[in-house]
Each structure stands twice: as structure tokens, then as C-alpha cells.
Amino acid sequence: MNTNTMTYLGYVSTVEYSDEDGCFIGRVLGIDDIVSFEGASVKELRTDFENAVNSYVATCQELGKIPERQCSGKLLVRLPSELHHKLTVESGVRGESINNLVVRALQSAYLRRKTAKPSDSKKTRTGTRKERQRINRD
């Protein structure tokens, strides 16, 4: 299955194609409620996605519930104590909070991943696929 995403009204979903079912299947990410949709074509999928989100928001309003939004911006991360110590020291040296240090590091890593060349994704710790094949033949 090939995984992609769609966005509507700030909600993001995964989209997969099911060869077995012969259709696209999607699910809204980042909320506890289950909001799913499907379509035999991309156009049907888009329409069903928008209808599913609109229905979710309307149902929440009818129930007097605030529709969940994706990600509050708060994230609890458990770190090895050694890394936590290093971050504490580094944040003190830089004169900034650990939170800012971690946010900048995550943003930098994410941006590097988004701008990586397609050939970069085939590299591993032991070299490129061609290098591993050459080593295996020798």
C-alpha cells in the first residue's frame, strides 16, 4: 500500500489504496475520534473526506462537544537520562530553554528530511544499495 495524506479544514488524513477492496481508504489523524472515508476514485475520496470532516464537526456541535483539533502542541517525551543531562547543559550554555533547543533540533531534522534528495533515502549506515550489493558480490 502506498500512503499519502489529504488536508481539509486543518484536518489531515492518511490515504491508502487497498488493492483487495479496489478503493482508496482514509482516516483522519491526530484525534481520538475515528473519522474514516473511502472512494473508488480520487475525486470520490476527496468528496467523502470533506463530507466526513463536515459531518464530524456537525455531530460534535449537535452533542455540545468541541471538535478535536489535531495536536495541542504539547508533547511529553521520555529521554535517556544522559541525553537529558546533555540537553540541560547545552541549554544553559546557549541561554535558552530545553524546550526551545528541542524544538529547533526537531525543526531542523524535519526540514532536512523534507529537502533530502530521493537518492539520499536509499543510504544506510553501511552505504548505498549499490555499495552493499558490490560488497555482497565480493
pLDDT score for 135: 47
> Is the pTM above the cut of 0.75?
no
Relative orientation angle of helices 81-94 and 98-115, to the nearest 10 degrees: 100
pLDDT at 1: 47
Q: What is the rounded CA–CA span in Å between residue 26 and residue 23?
A: 10
Grid coordinates of 138:
565480493
Tell me what pLDDT residue 70 has.
Answer: 65
Q: What is the pLDDT along the chain (138 residues), one digit of tens a residue?
A: 445 899 999 899 999 999 999 999 999 998 889 999 999 999 999 999 999 999 999 999 999 998 987 666 788 889 999 999 999 999 889 899 999 999 998 999 888 877 776 555 444 444 555 544 444 444
Other CB atoms closer than 10 Å to residue 41's CB: what's the count? 10
Residue 24 DSSP one-character state: E
DSSP state of 4: E
Give tens-digit pLDDT for 59-96.
999 999 989 876 667 888 899 999 999 999 998 898 99
Q: d(Cα 5, Cα 40) in Å, to the nearest integer?
A: 16
* Assigned CATH topology for domain 3-62: Double Stranded RNA Binding Domain (3.30.160)
Domain ranges of the chain: 3-62, 75-118
Please answer whether residues 2 and 17 qualify as being in contact, where contact means their C-beta atoms are separated by less than 8 angstroms: yes
pLDDT at 128: 53
C-alpha cell at 105: 533540533
